[in-house]
Amino acid sequence: MLLIIGGSIWYALLPTRHKAIVKTEFLLRTGLVDNQWVVDNATQQYQMISPAFLIDGIYKSMEGPKASNYVQLSQDSTLLWITGFQVKALDSKTKKPISNDFICHTNVDFNDVNYFNNFHLQNRIGKQYPRMTSLSHGLEHFRFPKGYGVPMKGNDWLFVTTQSLNHNLPDANYLIKHEVTIEYHKADQRTKPLMSRTVFVQLPYDKNDPFKEPLDPASNQCVPVETKNHSYDDGNGNMLSGHWVIPSGKKTYRSSIDAQLQMKDSLRLHAAAIHVHPFATSITLFDKTTNQPIFTSKITNHKDKIGLSEIEPFSSEKGIWLYKTHQYDLVLETNNTTAIEQDMMGSMFLFFYDQELDDILKRP
């Protein structure tokens, strides 16, 4: 009885995100809900359906039940080209599509040690977080421009995590699933390889009193959602957050991405997948040197509820050059139309033509 009482108190004190983790783990381990990934790889699409997620209240971005699965596109080392990604929300029982408002994000990570060893690119290991891309609410499907893809050996591993969301239905009591699709095709001499670089808005905060408000309006500081996750040291002892709160009204946030780009030479950009939270209205890749935008992703919010209707991706067969000698920012515009603070992120998964890997793949 004491254990039950103590456990109940401990659970009640957890934040929503951690409650979702505990609840989901309990339901999956006990088998009270469908707890298996269902995989279909009969065509050149790797398609899988997640275990069931219980939506029993409001789950804001980054808070909902989630599950992860390891993926091999084939059982041998055949060279494959990944060309697109998609995620759908399904009713757990009927498997019919439901509102994508129940999709928070789907992350696709790779093992950088195995991946770069396979292509004799050991000098790239450990240089950045090995996330290939992410789909999220408002951008539930994404394809590379014609003639481009991310190459990988078929039996190399991907790690897929998909998380649920519910901004608007406090009395919800649903069991849902996510259907995740990875599109690919077999080796093609005409396909050109892409490499991914992840960039995101990072804002400084007071590490001694991170949640103090109001902030100095003349400063570039933010109030982080929390300091355990998405917090970074700038190398000089100052703390930065990639997940912060925004006040009511319109705001502009800007941060340098030069360190994240890690440009050793000029690169040609062909695609970009965008991740933002509700109340973002646009995000721009900005060339500080020329004082001109590279491109702007327009973001459409729902009109009658919280959520994102569409995030505009970037895709170009021709490509746009980014130069080593230039400096670049991400510029995020937001409009919080509610009377309370909301959480925010602003990220881009940028895909550049990989000349070095192309030369390796063309060797006899």
Every domain of the chain and the residues it spans: 2-189, 196-361
User: If you classify domain 2-189 with CATH, what class do you get?
Assistant: mainly beta
Q: Are 132 and 158 in contact (CB under 8 A)?
A: yes
Query: Hey, which residues does 131 pair with through a beta bridge?
Result: 109
Q: How confident is the model at residue 2 (pLDDT cuts 50, 70, 90)?
A: confident
pLDDT at 29: 80
Q: Give pLDDT, residue 215.
A: 85
The pLDDT of residue 252 is above 80: yes
Q: What is the pLDDT of residues 270-311, one digit of tens each?
A: 999 999 999 999 999 999 999 999 999 999 999 999 999 999
Q: CB burial class (10 A; 0-12, 13-18, 19+) of residue 359?
A: exposed
Residue 105: which pLDDT band, with cuts at 50, 70 and 90?
very high
pLDDT at 316: 97
Q: Does 196-361 match 2-189 at the fold level?
A: yes
pLDDT of 42 over the 60 cut: no
Distance (Å, rounded) from C-alpha 58 to C-alpha 101? 12
Residue 263 pLDDT class (50, 70, 90 cuts) = very high
Please report, for residues 119, 132, 190, 352, 355, the alpha-carbon distance to residue 358 in angstroms, rounded to integers and kept in the order given.
10, 18, 11, 12, 5
Instruction: Judge whether 227 and 316 are in contact, CB under 8 Å.
Output: no
The number of C-alpha atoms within 13 Å of 202 and in the hemisphere containing its C-beta is: 18
Rounded-to-integer distance, Cα 277 and Cα 244, Å: 11
| Dist CA 278 CA 105 (whole Å) | 13
In the chain, the amino acid numbered 353 is Y
Under 8 Å CB-to-CB from 124, ≥6 apart: which residues? Answer: 112, 116
Domain 196-361, architecture per CATH: Sandwich (2.60)
Secondary structure letter of residue 78 according to DSSP: -
pLDDT of res. 213: 87
The pairing of strands 148-153 and 79-91 is antiparallel
At 144-197, the pLDDT tens digits run 999 999 999 999 999 999 999 999 999 999 999 999 999 999 877 789 999 999
Q: Where are the alpha helices (DSSP H) in 88-170?
A: 112-118
Q: Is residue 234's pLDDT more than 70?
A: yes
pLDDT in tens, 65-87: 999 999 999 999 999 999 999 99
